[in-house]
Structure 1
Amino acid sequence: MDKTTHFFGTSVFGQLISLIDSKIITASAKKHGSDHYVKKFKTKDHLISMLFCSFAKCTSLREVSGAMLGLSGKTKHFQLNHIPKKSTLSDSNKRRDCDVFGEIYNKLLKQYGHYISDSRIKDVINKQVEIIDSSTISLFKDILKCVGRHPKTGKKKGGIKLHATINVDETAPKMVWLTSAATHDHVLLNSLKHNANTIYVFDKGYNDYKAFDKFSQTDTGFVTRIKDNAAYKTLNDCKIEEHIHSGVEKDEIIEVQVKYENNTRPLKLRKVQFYDRNLKRRFEFLTNLFEMRADLIAAIYKLRWQIELLFKQLKQNFPLKYFLGDNENAIKIQIYCALIANLLMTVIQKTLKRKWAFSNLVSFCKIHLFNSTLTHLLF
């Protein structure tokens, strides 16, 4: 039988793995102690195995292990030192701290930030705009009982909610939090860093007057939508300048009451009413940016839809329909590895001379994952 030449040189998968500096993995593993008392299947092997799962779109541990065992003797080109059995991978997904994968993701994002940045928005708004949103990943009711709840209706709200912040001039999440689907969105506002040079943009589901009060005290900007049942008092109607886009219908200074444990204090905010002709919808925005033009407030909020496109891209190309574990840690590892895979593909897309649609690029890599003779078509 003729010997295959597919594995001479570095395969597509090998080149993707080469984007991850081994020093990042080593430092992250040391920080989280993820390789303590581990003889063979180290953090790096675990990461590569789970990335293989993401790129190959495997649906079970048996499929991951079986496919990699079939590559026995041909794994050096993608730096895998130990091929895991199904039981080994299952045990590691349960026992190895998922935070080490989150650490690796954040370090990779910092390393490749300049590849995925687009500074055009900064030419218009001289501040850093960060978008916050969440997406629920549904789970079977018997998985992750700790993240579901039984309301009085008897229905179970199960799942993990992926919260992310993304710089408006970038194409990958900057910070990621994983909570139960039952956790209210506004809790995450307390995790944000306050900075006078930052404007946070988020949907009304995140509304929290206490957080808004802290934003105002630290000169941290925000733009959101006001809730339909919000109670407020109008203090002043601002004049709408003639040069402002006709979509701006109202510009008001309002006062809301912030309830603390021992007292209630007033908070002054700005409410902008805007009619979008394209969507034929009326929006009411809430902000603490008193000096900014009213039409720019509306324009900033529209940037929030960018993160929805990111979640759509992630779900289409690295779908999380099949979970490889029945515990919270395993599922979080799988989610972090999907985010890492998405980031690596984004970096590849940005660096290629040839233009590729993201979905086409992911499909190409899946089909030719272990081919090296075809890499010239891609790179």
Structure 2
Amino acid sequence: MNKGRMAFAKIMDFASRDIFKICVNCYKDNYKAKEFTCWKQFLCMSFGQLTHRQNMSDTLLCLKLNPDKLYHLGIGKAINKSTLSHANESRDWRIYQDYALKLIDQAKKMYEGDNQLEVNLRGRVFALDSTTADLCLEVFLWAPFRSTKAAVKIHTLLDLKTSIPEFIFISEGNIHDAKMMDLIPLQKGSYYIMIKAYVDFERFYTIRQEKAYFVVRAKENLQFKRIKSRTPDKTIGILCDQDILLTGINSTNKYPEHLRRIKFYDAEFERTFVFLTNHFKIKTQTVTQLYKHRWGIELFFKWIKQNLKIQCFWGSSENAVKNSNMGCHISLCSGINSKKEIEADKLSI
């Protein structure tokens, strides 16, 4: 008979309770909470995620069927569905967003020095993208997307060298992706890889002024004039490498400096790509490889959807949806931290 601590309690050790208290105090959401605190709310959501429960009722039923184990799980006693539902509806979701970012910072330190890219660059390499979760418009009126359905977007800035997210934000489905560039933290010397949806030359110029770099696919209707050309290496698919100046009515004022335009032919899939970047010194092949590695964020979204086992949100309000989303992301971050610690223990042995 195993008399040691439960696996769930050991995993939760990697989620610092002291840091969680600081996040809660910032929003004062434990005010007048006698028994069911924010920490117990977090434990319930994490338990549902880590034990692959399908919804709130399934999670709470599983807890009620094991009353003698609740103390060892840190929950104490069985929770009513109305209690957890009210907590998800009323308590500020930003508590869990802030806490998730703190755990991400811990995970980044564990993966320092790791590089999963073929290219060797000094700066950090980020991919910015979003994934959409479709919702029922009749229930989630606060999240309009199309005329017939609602949705939420999970905007993510992923560090491609470590596959650890740097930034996560949940918005309504009709929010344009390019607006998220106003929220992401810009770091000097870093690279930001984006798709066509993020083409916004005013925001690109902000990245340029912060002495960071971007690589983005150009739209077909791009208006420009060629300033000079470099000799392309057609053996590796480079069709042209040019310095250009934007000539569009709005784009000229929004980005008044030169840009680098690279046209690349992918022989494997018989497709042509046109990239824009503000870095003039790196090799053209490096630019194409950077965009190729952007696929890492698509794999990250696939991994998230495969590992988030909860099939429905724990509430219908905006606050409840964001609470359940961020709570699940925190439990996954705790799992990442515990996995890395276990790997380190094996290496030391």
Structure 2 length-normalised TM:
0.91
Q: Deviations over 1:282-306 (max 9, x none)?
A: 2111111111111101111112111
In structure 2, the CA distance between the partners of 1:311 and 1:91, relative to structure 1 (3 Å rule), is same
TM-superposed CA distance for 1:265, in Å, is 6.1
Whether the 8 Å contact between 2:128 and 2:156 is mirrored in structure 1 is: yes
* Matched residue, 1:184: 176
Between the aligned partners of 2:164 and 2:121, the Cα distance in structure 1 is: 20
In structure 2, the CA distance between the partners of 1:123 and 1:249, relative to structure 1 (3 Å rule), is closer
Between the aligned partners of 1:124 and 1:41, the Cα distance in structure 2 is: 49
Find out whether 1:139 has 2:135 as its counterpart: yes
* Matched residue, 1:38: 33
* Matched residue, 2:206: 214
**Where in structure 2 are the equivalents of 1:340-379 lying within 5 Å?**
340-353=330-343
* Matched residue, 1:296: 286
In structure 2, the CA distance between the partners of 1:111 and 1:195, relative to structure 1 (3 Å rule), is closer
**Where in structure 2 are the equivalents of 1:1-379 lying within 5 Å?**
5=1, 8-117=3-112, 118-119=114-115, 121=117, 124-149=120-145, 155-240=147-232, 246-257=236-247, 266-319=256-309, 321-353=311-343
Whether the 8 Å contact between 2:226 and 2:245 is mirrored in structure 1 is: yes
Whether the 8 Å contact between 1:20 and 1:108 is mirrored in structure 2 is: yes
Secondary structure, in 3 states, of the residue corresponding to 1:132? strand
Q: Deviations over 1:160-186 (max 9, x none)?
A: 000011111222311101111111100
In structure 2, the CA distance between the partners of 1:131 and 1:87, relative to structure 1 (3 Å rule), is same
* Matched residue, 1:376: none
Between the aligned partners of 1:304 and 1:122, the Cα distance in structure 2 is: 12
Between the aligned partners of 2:310 and 2:168, the Cα distance in structure 1 is: 16
TM-superposed CA distance for 1:52, in Å, is 1.1
Whether the 8 Å contact between 1:157 and 1:181 is mirrored in structure 2 is: no
TM-superposed CA distance for 1:336, in Å, is 0.9
In structure 2, the CA distance between the partners of 1:270 and 1:77, relative to structure 1 (3 Å rule), is same
Between the aligned partners of 2:76 and 2:118, the Cα distance in structure 1 is: 45
TM-superposed CA distance for 1:341, in Å, is 2.3
Q: Which amino acid aligns with 2:137?
A: K
Percent identity over the alignment?
Answer: 24
Between the aligned partners of 2:57 and 2:116, the Cα distance in structure 1 is: 46
TM-superposed CA distance for 1:272, in Å, is 0.7
Whether the 8 Å contact between 2:142 and 2:317 is mirrored in structure 1 is: no
Q: Which amino acid aligns with 1:139?
A: L
TM-superposed CA distance for 1:130, in Å, is 1.2
* Matched residue, 1:368: none
Mean Cα deviation higher: 180-189 or 11-20:
11-20
Whether the 8 Å contact between 1:257 and 1:266 is mirrored in structure 2 is: no
Between the aligned partners of 1:225 and 1:60, the Cα distance in structure 2 is: 40
Mean Cα deviation higher: 156-165 or 42-51:
156-165
For structure 2, the residue ranges without an aligned partner over 5 or more in a row are 345-349
Structure 1 length-normalised TM:
0.84
Q: Which amino acid aligns with 1:280?
A: E
Q: Deviations over 1:203-256 (max 9, x none)?
A: 11111111012222232200110012222222222223x5x8622111111222
In structure 2, the CA distance between the partners of 1:86 and 1:187, relative to structure 1 (3 Å rule), is same
In structure 2, the CA distance between the partners of 1:116 and 1:139, relative to structure 1 (3 Å rule), is farther
TM-superposed CA distance for 1:340, in Å, is 1.7
Secondary structure, in 3 states, of the residue corresponding to 2:208? helix
Between the aligned partners of 2:80 and 2:254, the Cα distance in structure 1 is: 59
For structure 1, the residue ranges without an aligned partner over 5 or more in a row are 355-379
* Matched residue, 1:365: none
Whether the 8 Å contact between 1:54 and 1:318 is mirrored in structure 2 is: yes
Secondary structure, in 3 states, of the residue corresponding to 2:206? helix
TM-superposed CA distance for 1:18, in Å, is 1.4
Between the aligned partners of 1:54 and 1:311, the Cα distance in structure 2 is: 17
Whether the 8 Å contact between 2:54 and 2:309 is mirrored in structure 1 is: no
In structure 2, the CA distance between the partners of 1:325 and 1:300, relative to structure 1 (3 Å rule), is same
